[in-house]
């Protein structure tokens, strides 16, 4: 069976049709079944990803289709572990955005290693940017994130106390 796998990291990405686009492409590529996760590629505990690997190991899957290599994971070791597991059980890996061909060849291994390395680099770079931004806001005493619940509660209570006496919130 040809099984497609799609992944996005956040619910927001799923809501902006990034997931639907992947699923559509997997269907057009002939996937008979599609599994997906809405979870970081850094995690190896993704429910449907692990189900996908089990389907491959149990002989149900003959081919795994993904749109990009980084859908399998976001670090080199994890991606290589996945590819090795698929190769050991004779499951073909098709990456729609890559004209890789044979992943067993020296060239295929080099290409996968480079693409996986770039995926990990991109993930780490994003984390660094978020950390730098958070640190900048905190060091400049600027507000970052959602307001604490007690502040919101006080604002709401203030509205209900001042409305009956005719005061606006701007005063």
Residue 9: active-site member:
yes
- Write the CB contacts of 143 (distance below 8 Å, at least 6 apart in sequence): 137
Contact between residue 64 and residue 52 where contact means Cβ atoms under 8 Å apart: yes
Contact between residue 124 and residue 74 where contact means Cβ atoms under 8 Å apart: no
92 - beta bridge partners?
A: 63
- Given 9, 40, 98, 131, the catalytic residue: 9
Q: In whole angstroms, give the CA distance from residue 113 to residue 60.
A: 27
Looking at residue 23, the DSSP 8-state letter turns out to be: H
What residues act catalytically? 9
């Amino acid at each position: 069976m040809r099984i497609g796998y799609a992944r996005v990291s956040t619910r927001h990405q799923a809501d902006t049709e990034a997931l639907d686009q992947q699923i559509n492409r997997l269907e057009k590529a002939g996937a008979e079944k599609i599994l997906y996760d809405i979870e970081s590629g850094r995690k190896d505990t993704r429910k449907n990803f692990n189900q996908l690997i089990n389907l491959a190991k149990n002989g149900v899957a003959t081919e795994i289709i993904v749109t990009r290599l980084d859908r399998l994971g976001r670090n080199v070791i994890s991606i290589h572990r996945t590819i090795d597991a698929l190769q050991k059980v004779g499951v073909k890996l098709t990456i729609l955005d890559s004209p890789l061909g044979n992943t067993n060849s020296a060239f295929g291994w080099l290409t996968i290693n480079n693409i996986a390395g770039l995926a990990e680099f991109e993930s780490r770079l994003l984390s660094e940017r978020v950390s730098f931004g958070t640190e900048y806001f905190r060091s400049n005493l600027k507000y970052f994130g959602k307001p604490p619940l007690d502040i919101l509660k006080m604002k709401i209570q203030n509205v209900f106390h001042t409305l009956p006496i005719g005061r606006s919130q701007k005063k």
